[in-house]
Amino acid sequence: MSTARRRPLRPPVLLAVLALSALAGVAEAQERSPLRPRLNHEAWGSVAVQFKPFRNSTRVKEPAFNKRFRLGAEMGYRSDENLSGGKQLYLDLGARYKVHDLLRVGLEHRFSFRGADRRNTQRSSLQLQASKPFGRFTAEYRFRFQHEYADPDDVRDQLRNRFGLQYDIRKWKLDPEVTVELFTWAGYLGWRWIGTRYSVGTSWKPGKKHELGIAVMHDRERYVYDPTYRFIYALSYSLDLN
């Protein structure tokens, strides 16, 4: 019989374990609802383009800025909960600047068209995106603050934090990627964690300027009386004109 004693947890590790346990308890308590979550299925599709608006000339002589600055546009479609009809068409207009090889900042404005029976909306967002390779893995992080131009008692301001991990499979063009995104409402009730989105997908580049993406997402509402869980099947195409 061994008399070796187990090493006690170090203070930072113990604090991390306690914090995660407390967070799990709070999340479970907040996620409870008297109603069983509804399960919906949706289809998303999008087409995007990005390009350099400036070229080096006699008027514009900032090669570093021109190389790092991009403008872009995206049009997208989102179906309703039964995959049978359209719920939303949107147009995104944005600008992005590559501050560092690991960091990008961007601004974006969206026009959403929701049909005759629903109100069209607009939103603006500020985005920070970072990525770092570790061997054949690439870790990604995206922060987005978005403001919806809606009524004060609606969810207008959100903080979105997305964490991702991609793996580069040797001699294979379809590299898998997984992400988790947390949605936080910053409103008149304070800060509320209102949703989580999980994603598994991949992308394929048939050429230098073209990219096709496919993903399956699972979206879970929180902090609502009648929550909805969604499975989302997404297909995207992007064109780089640089």
Residue 235 — pLDDT band, cuts 50, 70, 90?
very high
Given this model, what pLDDT does residue 184 score?
Answer: 95
Contact indicator for 183, 214 with CB cutoff of 8 Å:
no
Tell me the mean pLDDT in the region 110-139: 92
d(CA 54, CA 61): 10
Q: How far apart are CA 90 and CA 87, in angstroms?
A: 10
Domains of the chain in start order, with CATH, are 37-240 (2.40.160)
Helices of type H across the chain: 11-31, 63-68
Residue whose C-alpha is closest to residue 216's, from 230, 227, 228:
230
Confidence category of residue 130, pLDDT binned at 50, 70, 90: very high
**Surface-to-core class of residue 214, CB atoms within 10 Å of its CB (0-12 exposed, 13-18 middle, 19+ buried):** middle
The contacts of residue 48 (CB under 8 Å, 6+ apart) are 72, 73, 74, 75, 92, 236, 237, 238, 239
pLDDT digit string (tens) for 155-190? 889 999 999 999 999 989 899 999 999 999 998 888
Report the pLDDT value the prediction gives residue 32, as an integer from 0 to 100: 55
Cα–Cα distance, 142 to 130 (Å, whole number): 6
Residue 29: the pLDDT is 43
Q: Which residues pair with 77 in a beta bridge?
A: 45, 89
pLDDT of 28-65, one tens digit each?
A: 444 455 568 889 999 999 999 999 888 765 555 567 78
- Please give the residue that has the higher pLDDT: either 29 or 150: 150
Residue by residue, DSSP assigns 146-164 as EEE-S-TTS--EEEEEEEE
At residue 6, does pLDDT exceed 50? no
Looking at the chain, the whole-number percentage of residues with pLDDT higher than 70 is 83
How would you classify the pairing of strands 103-113 and 38-51?
A: unpaired
In this prediction, residue 138 carries a pLDDT of 95
